[in-house]
Amino acid sequence: MQKTIFVVDDNDTNLSVAKEVLKPHYRVLTLPSAEKMFALMEKIRPDLILLDIEMPEMDGFEALGRLKENTSFADIPVIFLTSTIDPAIEEKGTQLGARGIITKPFSEPVLLDLIKTNLDK
């Protein structure tokens, strides 16, 4: 059975690109906000989440914190997506429990490798 990946990003182009890259390998559901992600998680539990950091309303850090507080979702691997290269962001993401950070625009082989590594754990 195909693994399910949620891609959460407020940018439609980023969602389209990620879906095109991932759909040959995974079941991909794209969501424009963390709020919509949490609503869908009441019905579908993803195997991995690609989560944009910079989003309106609820950013990726807050969303990851909420995931880690919920025992039903705390073990789902989360990989951050960001357009900002900043060691402080990487450090904060790691401290919160992110399994990796991918800089946008992302490299397809790097993204697929990081996903595979986290799904094989």
How many domains does the chain fold into?
A: 1
Domain that holds residue 48: 4-119
Give the mean pLDDT of the chain.
Answer: 94
pLDDT-derived band at 87, boundaries 50, 70, 90:
confident
Q: For residue range 14-53, what is the model confidence (pLDDT) as tens digits?
A: 999 999 999 999 999 999 999 999 999 999 999 999 999 9
**Nearest to residue 102, comparing CAs of 42, 21, 41, 31?**
21
| CATH number of the domain where residue 11 is located | 3.40.50.2300
Mean pLDDT across the stretch 84-101? Answer: 90
